[in-house]
Amino acid sequence: MSDTPLITAQNLSVHYPLRAGIIGPKPYVAAVENVTIEVAAGSFFGLVGESGSGKTTLGRAMLRAAPITKGDVLFDDGEVSYALKNLGKAELKDYRKRAQLIFQDPYAALSPRMTVRDIIAEPLEVMGLTKSRAETDERVREIADKCRLNVEHLRRFPHAFSGGQRQRISIARALVSGPKFIVADESVAALDVSIQADVLNLLKAIQEDMGLTFLFISHDLSVVAHVCDHVAVMYLGRLVETAPTRTLFSTPRHPYTKALLSAIPSLDPDDRGKAQKLVGEIPSPTNPPPGCKFQTRCPAAIDKCRKIEPVLESAGPEHHVACHRWKELSIAE
């Protein structure tokens, strides 16, 4: 892992328009608001948050698959350097080759009418990356082998495979164009635990082998803790805390991160009732609360939190937190 970022989201906002009224300003939903993250080349960057926190939208915006309203996303892999907001057609096509997505549900992501070989070969054909069928076949076999799929598998259709095998097919398809940056959006959420560990180990092995950079989106903090180097926590479109994995899990500073960690059901039956419970639910992004977005559920909210939105401040090396009270709360512990 190097310190130079492969991809950077700079004050990135993604707004979606709502149906406009006759008068007044155009209403919109801020799915992502003023988020800055740097994903170092060769890192496994985790993005966590509840449903509705904007983590998927942020991931998509970094692939230029969601509109960038404000700010920008900068990509630099040493060969090319792009600012994604204003990317020409040819450049965008080239970027698609360099940045790929692995979906959540391996049952929905694969066409049931195509053989596994055709599914994996499709990106090569669409992007025109190979010159002959023989070359395509060779590239497909090579990548299938990396994902532990054999030649026999390539002839079959997706229905013949289990969830774990299907996810390996999706991974092979994402890797076949030789990307540098992969967004894995809840890529193990649909799998059983016994298989989940296998797919996570595969992703890690491939990352090290091919020198890839991952943005790993997940709601499961224990999975993130095991695979990621760096974690960012989102709430209602805002970045609330970001830190190296070890720091985040040993000294979480934001009350939301603390609550998330404590809500994970413990494997110890004698831990019952110890969890710090969060009341209420994530507010609707169409009608966000004023001030800190977390103040409606925060056990430590004071008047200031209800009026002024906190900005990210440094809480240690590479550790940033957006909370007015993190210092006094950490002393109180």
Q: Contact positions toward other proteins, by CB under 8 A?
A: 50-51, 162-165, 192-198, 200-201, 219-223, 225-226, 245-246, 249, 259-261, 263-272, 275, 277-279, 281-282
Q: How far is the CB of 149 from other proteins (least distance, A)?
A: 13
| Residue 292 CB neighbour total at 10 angstroms | 28
The answer to whether residues 167 and 203 touch, using CB atoms and an 8 Å cutoff, is: no
Question: CB under 8 Å to 169, separation ≥6 — which residues?
Answer: 106, 110, 116, 119, 120, 147, 149, 158, 161
Q: How far is the CB of 226 from other proteins (least distance, A)?
A: 4
Helix (H) or strand (E) holding 239: strand 238-244
Nearer to other proteins, 266 or 286 (CB): 266
Nearer to other proteins, 270 or 303 (CB): 270
Q: How far is the CB of 102 from other proteins (least distance, A)?
A: 18
Q: How far is the CB of 241 from other proteins (least distance, A)?
A: 15
Burial category of 230 from C-beta neighbours within 10 Å (exposed 0-12, middle 13-18, buried 19 and up): buried
* C-alpha to C-alpha distances, 260 to 65, 249, 313, nearest whole angstrom: 28, 11, 20
* Residue 276, SS3 per DSSP: coil
Q: How far is the CB of 195 from other proteins (least distance, A)?
A: 7
* C-alpha to C-alpha distances, 171 to 50, 214, 262, 321, nearest whole angstrom: 24, 12, 32, 33
Nearer to other proteins, 109 or 221 (CB): 221
Angle subtended by helix axes 193-210 and 163-175, to nearest 10: 20
Tokens of 216: 């790993």
Q: How far is the CB of 323 from other proteins (least distance, A)?
A: 17
Distance from first CA to last CA of the chain, Å, rounded?
A: 34
Nearer to other proteins, 200 or 240 (CB): 200
- Give the up-direction half-sphere exposure of residue 73: CA atoms within 13 A in the CB hemisphere: 26
Nearer to other proteins, 13 or 207 (CB): 207
Q: Tell me how many helices (H) and strands (E) the chain has.
A: 12, 12
Nearer to other proteins, 88 or 269 (CB): 269
Nearer to other proteins, 42 or 163 (CB): 163
Q: How far is the CB of 331 from other proteins (least distance, A)?
A: 24
CA distance 116 to 166: 9
Q: How far is the CB of 189 from other proteins (least distance, A)?
A: 10
The answer to whether residues 324 and 308 touch, using CB atoms and an 8 Å cutoff, is: yes
Nearer to other proteins, 172 or 200 (CB): 200
